[in-house]
Amino acid sequence: MSPDRPAAVVVLAAGEGTRMKSSIPKVLHAVGGRSLVHHAVVAAAEMEPDHLVVVVGHGRDEVTAHLAEVAPKAATVVQEQQLGTGHAMQVALEAMPRFDGTVVVTYGD
Question: Which residues participate in catalysis according to the annotation?
Answer: 19
CA distance 29 to 27: 6
Torsion angles phi and psi, residue 20, rounded to 5: -80, -20
Q: How many CB atoms lie within 10 A of CB 67?
A: 26
Length of the chain, in residues: 109
Q: How many CB atoms lie within 10 A of CB 1?
A: 14
CA distance 11 to 88: 10
User: Quick one: which of 10, 13, 38, 2 has its CA closest to 94?
Assistant: 10
